[in-house]
Structure 1
Amino acid sequence: MTGVLITKWDGDEAELTRAAELYARVFAEQPYREEVEASRTSFMERIRRYGASKPHLRLVLAKDGADVVGLALGTGIAAGDWWRDRIAPLLEHDARARWFGDGCFSVMELAVALAHRRSGIAANLMDALLKDLPYATAVLSRYAEAEDAGRFYASLGWREIATGIRIGDSPALCVLARDLR
């Protein structure tokens, strides 16, 4: 990770554009196969929408000079959140109460440029994203077929609380949770 700096996004539009470019490149890969231009546009729109509507928006960037080579995105969620309201009812009562409670932090995105993977950047991004949050727990979902991601999250202390979850016609998802205390 030599020369790579982890910082919180400060609202700079040019930096957001570079983050969106990275996001679009990473999520065009397998197993996601998102269309690049639509993905880039959607990412920027979501950041603006989340900033206006969700608590504790965090976008953490890994920068190599001016290049954004990694990002992690998350926000607080509670009842009424689109993703939470589709996932939580599919969980057993105890798991729903333990991990989602009255509110938790949702890790929405983690992306690292291909040339920078397996260098510690993703773990450092997650550490920065989850540091000093006012929540007891964090949750995320991953594609079930993204097995490397599953091993990575397990190495950071995340545990699977549900598998085979589908939202509409989405691919099968695994839901993971982590205690932040």
Structure 2
Amino acid sequence: MRLSLSKKTYYALGMLAAGCYMAQAIAGIAGAGFALLDNIAFILTGLMLLFLASVKGTTGPDKGALFGCFFLLIGAMAFQAPLLQYILLALVWPCFAGYEKSRDKRLTPQFRAICILEALWLAALILVNLGGVAAMGLPANLLGFACAIVRGWLTLSLYRRERDER
């Protein structure tokens, strides 16, 4: 048996990451928090970005774009300022979606949805965690769930595109 890894496999990692984000958002809505799910989603997202950059035939500019997304992800963990962490994390998926949209214009709806929802979620997180507006906790979790859905939609679209091109 031969193990075959392709872009499809790496997009599947993104779908798994989106699933972990969804599960974490559901837990948050229920009043519990599962930091482990966030950590797993973080790792899966990072692996997806690195593996996509390492695919044979990836051009230099494409590698740069994917590494840029990866460095945003890692940079969020390097800084101690919560506001900077939130901003960097809110940029990872829109940047990745923008990169993919530049290669395939059919991904424009996913790109727009990710940009809008990530911006709304960032505003809600800032209000809840830095502004002390506890009443925004449920809307923030709902927006986090919506972000996870559109992340899954993007990676599923990318997975299907790779499947159909073969």
- Identify the structure with the greater strand proportion: 1
TM-score (norm 2): 0.33
Where relative contact order (Cα < 8 A, 6+ residues apart) is larger, the structure is: 2
Higher fraction of helix: 2
Q: TM-score, normalised by structure 1?
A: 0.31
